[in-house]
Structure 1
């Protein structure tokens, strides 16, 4: 039996490229406000060209593009609509003259983190679960399918899905949202397995309650304070801190990492 060091590299899958962040074209879904805006700003800071997807936040998206300049474009699309996502990706590629290399699946479909005003088990319906699954799993599937040809041709791709720590620590039982994000983690791992030979990595970054986004604005201060007291860092994670963790999975430093779920919540949850 030959030692593995004697086997020509041609007998293995061809090596993929390792693009620096400043060489990438990154699509951020739901990128006009909240966590998405923080991710866009972090990517722009590191030199990437960024496509800001939005559904109804046109003014916020245009303001962000005006502030950040020519390395940012805005694209309206409902991520749950495969045809709209396909058109969006074509528009981005026409704008920047190259295929999308990286996708951050961040869009959140009609959800507010308010533990006092949430569907309980005796009132929640399957429609609640279907709506969240369409947004989290369906939206990610649509962006992956639309960008896959360009990533495969380049033998490079980075897909980062935004998850939650609630399925490890359901401190507030948001049944529909948590189930959808658990499904997204499953898609993350199965997609990582299938796309690895193409030089495409698929990972998840999961936060807890962030201080503060539009979605968490309804959360009472005492809840933030309670979380802070229970984390080793004695603080609630900010959108900016979360965004910096996303950058790791786009950088060459993570080139051997795929199918993983990185929990970014100040140490509250040990995965």
Structure 2
């Protein structure tokens, strides 16, 4: 199925990286269900600008009932079910090495908050999409990860552990769902310049990353978003259970 024929849910799709993903999909001609939690004005502005392509809906994706309602509402709006899901939403988090919780400060609440925002949220959207995807013998699920799993240059323990768990879930889900025509992959980035989560990062850190990267620059949200199109396109129909690192070559594999 071509991207222009898909109905794609982008969680957290109204701002930051999520907005870049939504805009890339709009440019490809896809219909986009833009999920938001607090970014109501941004989501409604996007829907107003592209009324034929964008449907904005508020839902806490860690809440299974709200996610199920989101899928029903999107199907009602577009007249057809969601075909693809990009699990992008990030629980409140800032890439600030000085303010990160150290090991001595970690607790169940901190770890669970990130796990719920990454793994539980992806489980909720996957389960909500499953029946329609199986019936269509087609589905694309793209989970957003991080290169910190391979290269934890800054020990964001809670965030990185949750994304590592999401990578494992990506691969187990791909194994189980492949026979139904559902591909599940992960796209992992480094520090993007710039999103709400990275605005607290000092400039010298971006400079250091750029100098260590073969492309000699930091990846932008728009560049990262464009790579997602590969996993949604027909050219990746034999690709599943993979983790593609999109960081300008900083981390290998």
**TM-score, normalised on structure 1?**
0.93
The Cα of 1:244 is off from its aligned counterpart by: 0.5
User: What is the rounded CA distance, in whole Å, between the counterparts of 2:64 and 2:179 in structure 1?
Assistant: 25
Report runs of 4+ in structure 1 exceeding 4 Å deviation: none
User: What is the rounded CA distance, in whole Å, between the counterparts of 2:191 and 2:213 in structure 1?
Assistant: 12
State the match for 2:19 in structure 1.
37
The Cα of 1:127 is off from its aligned counterpart by: 1.4
State the match for 1:109 in structure 2.
91
Match of 1:141 among 123, 144, 155: 123
Match of 2:108 among 126, 134, 138: 126
1:260 and 2:245 aligned: no
User: What is the rounded CA distance, in whole Å, between the counterparts of 2:127 and 2:85 in structure 1?
Assistant: 11
Cα deviation 1:152-183 (Å, max 9, x = unaligned): 11000000000000011111100000000000
1:168 and 2:125 aligned: no
Pair member with larger Rg: 1
Aligned residues: 253
Unpaired segments ≥5 residues, structure 2: none
> What SS does the aligned partner of 1:122 have?
helix
> What SS does the aligned partner of 2:104 have?
coil
The Cα of 1:68 is off from its aligned counterpart by: 2.5
User: What is the rounded CA distance, in whole Å, between the counterparts of 2:138 and 2:247 in structure 1?
Assistant: 29
What is the RMSD of the two structures over their aligned residues, measured on CA atoms? 0.6
> What SS does the aligned partner of 1:212 have?
coil
User: What is the rounded CA distance, in whole Å, between the counterparts of 1:61 and 1:163 in structure 2?
Assistant: 23
Q: After superposition, where does 1:246-257 map in structure 2 within 5 Å? A: 246-257=228-239
The Cα of 1:186 is off from its aligned counterpart by: 0.4
State the match for 1:6 in structure 2.
none
User: What is the rounded CA distance, in whole Å, between the counterparts of 2:96 and 2:45 in structure 1?
Assistant: 28
Unpaired segments ≥5 residues, structure 1: 1-18
State the match for 2:49 in structure 1.
67
**TM-score, normalised on structure 2?**
0.99
> What SS does the aligned partner of 1:50 have?
strand
User: What is the rounded CA distance, in whole Å, between the counterparts of 1:232 and 1:99 in structure 2?
Assistant: 41
The Cα of 1:126 is off from its aligned counterpart by: 2.0
Match of 1:200 among 182, 204, 207: 182
State the match for 1:87 in structure 2.
69
